Amino acid sequence: MALLQKLLRTKPIDHLQHEAKQETGFVKALGPWQLTFLGIGAIIGTGIFVLTGTTAAQHTGPALVLSFTISGVGCLFAGLCYAEYAAMIPTAGSAYTYAYATLGEFFAWIIGWDLILEYLFASATVAVGWSGYAVKFLQNFGVQIPPALCSSPLVFQHGVWSHSGALFNLPAVLVCLAVTILLVLGIRESSNFNNIIVIIKLAVIVLFILCGSAYINTHNWVPFIPENTGRFGEYGWSGIMTGAGVIFFAYIGFDAVSTAAQEARNPQRDMPRGILGSLLICTILYILVSLVLTGIVPFKELAVPAPVALAIDRAGEGLRWLGPLVQLGAIAGLSSVVLVMMMGQPRIFFSMAKDGLLPQSFARLHPKFGTPHVTTILTGLFASVMAGLLPIGILGELVSIGTLLAFTIVCISILVLRKTRPEVDRPFRCPGLPWVPLAGALVCLAQMVALPFDTWLRLLIWLAIGLAVYFFYGLHHSRLSARQS
């Protein structure tokens, strides 16, 4: 009984709000536009430039647009819950902190460990996609990178691991290390770099939508929902749901916005704007790109590393001028996603270490740059190794299931907090309770169920490792436990 009480102890909201107002060492440099651009920087990237093709070819066909819509609706519901939390508790811990305030320390640890999975593997996933476009772009100038140095040495097909013959993915490793250096230097420098990149990739995507729409062949949309092959997840409605789960990875950017709360100038006002604004803009763009992409290229031919570049090639001479621009936009876009993902992870580490659940070195800030340099470097090194060795499909599925689990817990916990602490000041209130949070949790759970069994198995293994760390270290070093004992 005493152990159960320890596991379910919650961190007082008043204490969290007091912590948020204290001087932390973080530089408060982000306004509403910077936060919105951080969200766009994280959301628009692999989802458009990489996963659209493989998802359409393997799961959805032209109905890819329905998968993006389902994921977008689930994200909207979860985003409204996130916005209430981010305005009420503007700290760097994101969903980890929210769970600590409502469901207790054990659930907070689970979601914090889950967020580590999400951000670490997201950085690696996007770095692999970045590598594919960078190699293709360099080929325009006669620079050839040997296949052994630009692809994964490990391949996973039909449940079996094999060796591809490659050594490692060098460009993916290099981009992770470069972003790590930039993030150590400071949040203002990182934000300015991200803003420039976001403008470039938005311009490229809008150009693709406007110019590519003239080359749509509507016959490529027939049948809009291909008949199921007899296997769950291969076309039909099961394919649409599986596709929604796979491409859900593309939407995790607004979660990254919430991790920057302690670097926002006015978090109570600007966090909801950044979260919901970036989500709305990106959902519209995803749907339009899906329609253009599947309208130009028959969906079964889209299982390539650079599907947007393929669509431009198929359009012929009239659109060929856009090819190098799209490649450049993809490189820029994926760079910003790597940056924002690798920015979010150290801030989760920071919050967990401040609570005593991880070593105190994880909460150390650089004396000159004001950044969590220890965990930033650790994140960069881990992401580099994963990006250099693993294929993009395995990485992407792991990130999707981790993200969906985090969003589900946030949706449920907002209902708990409204019941247990109705008097707390809420600068932004999630509308439509209890239906909006319940709908968000159900949509996220439905997409989790549709993901492959192997992905669930890897999640359970990761959580088992996390439970071991918590019971051997976190439970005994918890600062909340020390204050309440």
297-314: per-residue pLDDT in tens? Answer: 999 998 876 788 889 888
* Whole-number average pLDDT of the chain: 82
Confidence category of residue 157, pLDDT binned at 50, 70, 90: low
Mean pLDDT of all residues in 69-98: 82
Q: Who has greater pLDDT, 330 or 3? A: 330
Higher pLDDT, 237 or 339: 237
Share of the chain above pLDDT 90, in %: 15
Residue 1, pLDDT score:
58
User: What pLDDT shows up at residue 323?
Assistant: 84
φ/ψ of 264, rounded to 5, equals: -90, 140
Question: Which alpha helices (H) appear in 103-186, and where do they start and end?
Answer: 105-139, 170-185
Asked whether the predicted pLDDT for residue 269 surpasses 60, the reply is yes
DSSP state of 472: I
User: Within 10 A of 34 (CB to CB), how many other CB atoms are there?
Assistant: 24
Burial of 421: CB neighbours in 10 Å, binned 0-12, 13-18, 19+: middle
Q: Which residue has the higher pLDDT, 338 or 467?
A: 467
Q: pLDDT band for 264, please (50, 70, 90 cuts).
A: confident
Q: At what angle do helices 105-139 and 170-185 cross, to 10 degrees?
A: 120
Total count of residues recorded for the chain: 485
CA distance 421 to 137: 54
How far apart CA 199 and CA 41 sit, in angstroms, is 9
pLDDT over 80 (residue 384): yes
- Tell me the pLDDT tens digit for each residue of 114-144: 888 777 777 887 888 788 888 878 887 888 8
Which has more confidence, 249 or 431? 431
> What are 181-191's pLDDT values in tens digits?
888 886 666 66
Yes or no: say if 451 and 458 are a contact pair by the CB < 8 Å rule: no
Instruction: With cut-offs at 50, 70 and 90, classify the pLDDT of residue 351.
Output: confident
Residues 150-155, mean pLDDT to the nearest whole number: 76
- Looking at per-residue pLDDT, the higher value among 208 and 350 belongs to 208
Question: Angle between the 322-354 and 95-102 helix axes, to the nearest 10 degrees?
Answer: 40
Residue 158 — very low, low, confident or very high, per pLDDT cuts 50/70/90? low
Could you list the beta-strand ranges (E) of 300-417.
Answer: none
Q: What percent of the chain has pLDDT over 70?
A: 88
Q: Which amino acid is at 192?
A: N
Strand spans (E) along 325-392 = none
Residue 45's pLDDT band (boundaries 50, 70, 90)?
confident
Instruction: State the burial class of residue 1 (Cβ atoms within 10 Å of its Cβ: 0-12, 13-18, 19+).
Output: exposed
Tokens 């253009």 -> residue: 292
pLDDT band at 221 (very low <50, low <70, confident <90, very high): very high
Q: Which domains does the chain have, with CATH numbers?
A: 33-484 (1.20.1740.10)
Give whole-number Cα distances, 195 to 40, 143, 180, 361, 449, in Å: 9, 29, 17, 31, 36
For range 223-231, the mean pLDDT = 90
pLDDT at 159: 61
What is the arithmetic mean of pLDDT over 7-32? 70
Does residue 147 carry a pLDDT above 80? yes
Residue with the two structure tokens 């069994």? 453
Neighbour count for residue 165 (Cβ, 10 Å)? 10
| Residue type, position 48, single letter | I
Averaged over 378-387, what is the pLDDT?
A: 87
- When pLDDT is cut at 50, 70 and 90, the band that residue 326 belongs to is confident
Q: Would the pLDDT of 397 be above 70?
A: no
- For the record, the structure tokens of 229 come out as 């092959």
Whole-model pTM?
A: 0.77
The confidence band for 453, taking pLDDT boundaries of 50, 70 and 90, is: confident
Check whether 66 has a pLDDT greater than 80.
yes
CA distances from 51 to 59, 68, 129 (A): 11, 11, 9
Three-class SS of residue 304? coil
Per the model's pLDDT, the better-predicted residue between 381 and 253 turns out to be 381
